[in-house]
Structures are given as C-alpha cells and as structure tokens.
Amino acid sequence: MFLEFKKEVEHVLKEALKKASYDYEELDLDLDLEESEHADIASRIAFSLARTYKKPPEIIAADIANHLNLEIPAENTLISDAAAAGPYINFYVNEFFLHKTLQKIKDGEPAEEKKKGKIIIEHTSANPDGPLHIGHLRNAIIGDVLVRVLKRAGFDVETHYYVNDMGRQIAVAVWGAERIAFATNKKADHAVADVYIAANRLVEENGEFLKDVEKLMRKYESEDEAAVKKYEAVVKKCLSGTQASLERLNIRHDSFVWESGFVRGGAVEEVMEELKQKGNVKFDGSALLLKLEGIEKELVIQRTDGTSLYTTRDLAYHRWKSDRCDRVIDVFGKDHELVSQQLTKALEILGVKVPEFVIFEFVSLPTGSLSTRAGRYIAADELMEKIEERAYEEVAKRREDLDEGKKHEIARKVGIGALRYDMVKVSSDKHITFVFDDALDIEKKGAPFIQYSHARACSILRAAEERGFSIADDYDASLRKESSEKELIKMLAGFENIVEEAASELKPHLVAKYARELAESFNLFYKDCPVLNADEGIRKARLVLVDCAKTVLSDVLDVLGIESPEEM
C-alpha cells in the first residue's frame, strides 16, 4: 500500500509545483521523496530549487505547500494532510490508507501475475570433500534469503549448487577412498572428510602417491568408466550429507550442476577456441594466457599440458546458465572477488551476458581465520546441534506444560531461526567474527523475538475463537485512535516496499531489519491496546489488525526462511 501512497504524493506534489511555477522538469530535478520519522513521506525538493530560484528553501517549501490541492473526497485519496516544516514538505496518510492496507492483507496476494523474468542464482557450492562449516553457512543463508526475496518480488527463480568435482582435492578424496574405509557410524560428509584428511597426509608424505592421484584425475577427465564410478560414489556420498545439513536449515537447491559435465560435453573446448579468436591471447610455452582489460594479471585459460582450469570451466558453466535465464546471480565469498572480475571480463569477450555478484565478507573465529587444515573451523552440523539444544533448554524452562515432542519441535524452529537470523542480519560486506556463545544466546533480539510476537498474535486469535468472537470485515475503523495501532498498520503497509528494495539492491539484511522493527511495533501495540477485553467495536477493529499482523509477521519470517511457531 505504501507504493500507492507514494505515487499519489508524487502526483499531488507535481501539480503544486506547476501551479507555483517551479520548473522542476526543466531543471531535471528529483522530487526527492523519503520516508521520515517526521512524516509518512517527506520531500526535500525545496533544497534543490533554492539554488536556481535564489530563495531560502523554507520559503519555497511554504510556497509549494500553499499550492497543494488536497480537496479530494476521502474515498479517492490516501493523503490526510501535507504541510511545510522548515525546508521540508511533509505528507501524512489518512484513515482510508490504513483501512485499505488491512483489507489488502486480508484479501491475500492479488492474483495478478507479476512475472519479472527468470533468474538463476548459484550459492553455497562448497567442495564435496567434507561437511559445511560456518563460512559456507553464511553463503548458504544469504543465498537462500535472496532466493526467497526475489521470488516474493515476482521473479521466477532457479537455484543452483555448482559441484566442483574436477579439482585435486576431490581426486585426493577419491584416491583415499580406494584404500581407507569410510566410517559407518558417521554422517556421510563427515566420513568423507576423514578419508580426505587421512589421504592428504599420505600424499604429503609420499611423492609417489601424488602421481597416482594425478593419474586418477586424467582418467576422470577422459571419462574412464571405472574412475567415473569411483568419483561418483564419493561425491554423491558427500553431497548427500551436505543436502541433509541444508535441509535442516530449510534450504533446497533446484539442481546440482557438475563441473565435469562442461568438460565432457565439449563446452570448455568451445570456450577456449572462441577466446583464442576473439580475445587478446598469447602463449607462454604451451600454456595459454588471456589479457583482460583493466586487470594487471593475465588469466591462464589452458595449462601447459593442454588441460582446462577451474576458471575456464566456470566460463562454460556461466555461458550455459546465461542461455537459460534473464539474469544470473552468484553468491561468492570475498576471496573470489578477483575471480568474479575476471569472469566478467572474459564473458564480455565471449558476448555472454554478465552475472551479478553478491560478495560476502569472511567469517572468522576469535582465534583467527577459518582453516580446515589447522582444525580451526566449526562444522555446521555441530552448530545446529548445539543451538537446538540451547533452544530446548529455554523452551523447557518456560513451557513445562508441553509434551516432549512439542518442545523439541519448537526448539528446532527457534534454534534454526536464531541461527539463520544471525547470519543475515548483518550487511554482507561486513566481516564477522563468530563467537559460539553469542550465537547460542537466544535471548537477544533476533529471530525468537520476532517469532514471539507472532506467537502472541496467534494466542490472541486462539482466545478470540474460544470466546466466540469472529474476525469480521464490518468493523468501524474510526474507533482506532491509539497511535501505536496506526504505527503498526503503517509498518504492515511497508512490507512489499521492503521486499522490492531488498530485491533490487540484492540486500537480504534489509528484510531482517524490517522484521525486527515490525515485531517491535507489534509489541508496542500489544502493550498499549487490549483486544479481547476492549469494547465490542474496538475489539472488532483490533482483532482484524491482529490477524493482519500475524499474516505479515509470518510472511516476513518466511522470506527469511524462518518458521513461525503458533506457540512457543
């Protein structure tokens, strides 16, 4: 509803500017509208007019305000009032706006198809040689929230997990599996990691083994049947574990795309040939280098022995993706920033539409940066386990009345929710230090705070039903007088706007911030405004509001990939 309000403000303001003879169009000036704590929307245009018309902005603002025509019948406008406040022109919503906002939420999503095109988004894509750790978790959760935001904003979204099955690391793991048995009592990805780490040690100790590994890699690249079977067994085993972890986090990918497919299908070969023709390439011995504009270092696209490299294979993958959608989005760690630039330049040479990158900064531990080798990492599974345990303690403390199954279910929703919220609430270009105890501290104003508001709303609605109160449309909106109920409705009206913003700027943390503010707003309303104990008229009006708040709280949590428990 906020967007409709903004449109009307634009219209009314433009009319006033014309009447007051300000040539904003000629001057190519923006109306400079912003949300503000002083008004529902404010315009700062007087500042920019001040220069041209050589008058103080306060005078101009007052002048424009005097020319505003707000004599519109109440059912045709969303504006109640507008006035100059110093150099600003402030606009306020009316009762009809509040009423329409609730009605729209109650009626649900309009059936109109708002197809905005197809997006392929790649995220997580961890090497299949071990379990996910907290670094991957940030990638996965940022990626998943972005997917949900974009879907909600009307895009057709397909999610990819790119499987790096051609690297040396995987080869070591596969080689290791030939001689070391997988532990049978461990989750699949953890069992693979054990073998990989043990194999790594062997290879480091004995140079002969390294040759075996390289032989295996060549066999795999040339599609040797036995090698392919061995690879598939190990990679699929590991991925099954990864998928289980992601599932637990409420994350699912639409498809897993194997890197090797692009080598085997000849796509990599094609890319290299085309780059030779279109790009500025040169040989260094028999290795092939590609000069990229604006990047100091040449990109090696073919090894001396003629085999392909990761980057080349990634180019083939991106071309393939690009043919299948309107926009390509990659969620990459900060360490891939240079790679992303190289990718972009090389794709431009190939005439392929370039991807958009969401780069997130690193996660480190208080003891230093993450390092699988040094054993400085926290496995995602371990973290989820611990946080659910912690959540269970909290639930058990508060809800002795519930049975075990119910308590565990709530603990799972609260624990995973807290984890997900923690990972998206911070802007992705911010480096974060992961402190285990802080993450486990569920008391902070994170997901549980928002879930609690939702549970409260549910609780009121449940009690209303028990007492036989119905949620009806025939309420009297004029009985709504408390500022906290009006503020809450305005917050509800802003939801779609926030989704749009998060989608266009690819900033998932905006949604997290909004969710918290909405919950805050609901809690203030809850404090100020009795619902069930109010007089019938007021009760009716407030029940509708509670119902709508519940809907939006649950919607925003869903966009964050967090479940909304009805009680907790």
Partner RNA sequence: GGGGUCGUAGGGUAGUGGAUAUCCUGUCAGGUUCCGGACCUGAUAACCUGGGUUCGAAUCCCAGCGACUCCGCCA
Shorter beta-carbon distance to RNA: residue 202 or 339: 339
Q: From the CB of 114, what's the least distance to RNA, in Å?
A: 25
Examine residue 564 and tell whether it contacts RNA (CB under 7 A): no
Give, as ranges, the residues between 117 and 136 that touch RNA (CB under 7 A). 127
CB of 159 to RNA, least distance (A): 20
Nearer to RNA, 57 or 143 (CB): 57
Rule CB under 7 A: choose which of 20, 47, 471, 486 binds RNA: 47
Question: Which residue's CB is nearer to RNA, number 44 or number 116?
Answer: 44
CB 250 within 8 A of CB 384: no
Q: Is 526 among the residues that bind RNA (CB under 7 A)?
A: yes
Instruction: Name residue 200's amino acid.
Output: N
User: Nearer to RNA by C-beta: 159 or 308?
Assistant: 308
Instruction: List, as one string, the DSSP characters of 98-156.
Output: HHHHHHHHHH-S-S------EEEEE-----TTS--BHHHHHHHHHHHHHHHHHHHTT-E
**Exposure string for 209-237, b = 16+ CB within 10 A, e = fewer:** beebbeebbebbeeeeeebeebbeebbeb
Least separation in angstroms between residue 112's CB and RNA is: 30
Say whether 553 sits in a helix, a strand or coil. Answer: helix
Nearest distance in Å: CB 447, RNA: 9
Site for RNA in 218-237 (CB under 7 A): none
By C-alpha distance, which of 355, 359, 357, 358 is closest to 325?
Answer: 355
* Site stretch for RNA (CB under 7 A), options 220-228, 231-239, 421-429, 492-500: 421-429
> Shortest distance, CB of residue 135 to RNA, whole angstroms?
11
Q: Does residue 516 belong to the site contacting RNA (CB under 7 A)?
A: yes
- Cα separation, 143 vs 79, whole angstroms: 38
- Using the rule CB under 7 A, give the single segment among 186-194, 244-252, 282-290, 475-483 that binds RNA: 282-290
Among the listed residues 164, 242, 250, 564, the single contact to RNA using CB under 7 A: 164
C-alpha separations of 323 from 283, 320, 353, 410 in Å: 30, 5, 9, 43
Which residue from 195, 179, 183 is spatially nearest to 128, judged by alpha carbons?
195
Least distance CB 394 / RNA (angstroms): 5
Contact set for RNA, span 287-346 (CB under 7 A): 287, 296-297, 300, 303-305, 309-311, 334-339
Residue 452 found at the interface with RNA (CB under 7 A): yes
Considering only the stretches 160-168, 205-213, 218-226, 552-560, report the one whose residues sit in contact with RNA under the rule CB under 7 A: 160-168
419 forms part of the interface with RNA (CB under 7 A): no
Among 80, 344, 364, 372, binds RNA (CB under 7 A): 364
Q: For residues 496-515, which are near RNA according to CB under 7 A?
A: 507, 509-510, 513
Please name which of 236, 252, 237, 238 lies closest in space to residue 140, comparing C-alpha atoms. Answer: 252
User: Measured in whole angstroms, how far is the alpha carbon of residue 537 from the centre of its chain?
Assistant: 41
Exposed e or buried b per residue across 165-190, where buried means at least 16 C-beta atoms within 10 angstroms of its C-beta = bbbebbbbbbbbbeeeebeeeebbbb
When binding is defined by CB under 7 A, the residue of 20, 29, 70, 524 that contacts RNA is 524
- Measure the CA–CA gap between 212 and 547, rounded to whole angstroms: 65
Using the minimum distance from each CB to RNA, give the nearer residue, 267 or 325.
267
Site string for RNA, 185-224 (x = CB under 7 A): ----------------------------------------
Burial class (CB in 10 A: 0-12, 13-18, 19+), 38: exposed
The answer to whether the beta carbons of residues 498 and 35 sit under 8 Å apart is: no
Size of the site for RNA (CB under 7 A): 87
Q: How far is CA 478 from the centre of its chain?
A: 39
Tell which positions 423-442 bind RNA, by CB under 7 A: 426-427, 429-432, 442
User: Closest by alpha carbon to 120, among 254, 249, 263, 268?
Assistant: 254
Q: Does residue 86 bind RNA (CB under 7 A)?
A: yes
Smallest separation (angstroms) from RNA to the CB of 249: 18
Give 98 or 450: the residue with its C-beta nearer to RNA.
Answer: 450
Cβ-based nearer residue to RNA, 211 or 431:
431
Q: Which is nearer to RNA, 139 or 325 (CB)?
A: 139
Among 12, 17, 48, 213, the residue binding RNA under the rule CB under 7 A is 48
Closest approach, Cβ 141 to RNA, in A, equals 15
CA–CA gap between residue 488 and residue 517 (Å, rounded): 10
Q: Which is nearer to RNA, 74 or 338 (CB)?
A: 338
Residue identified by tokens 């043919």 is: 323
The strands making up 363-365's β-sheet, listed across from edge to edge, are 368-369, 363-365, 432-433
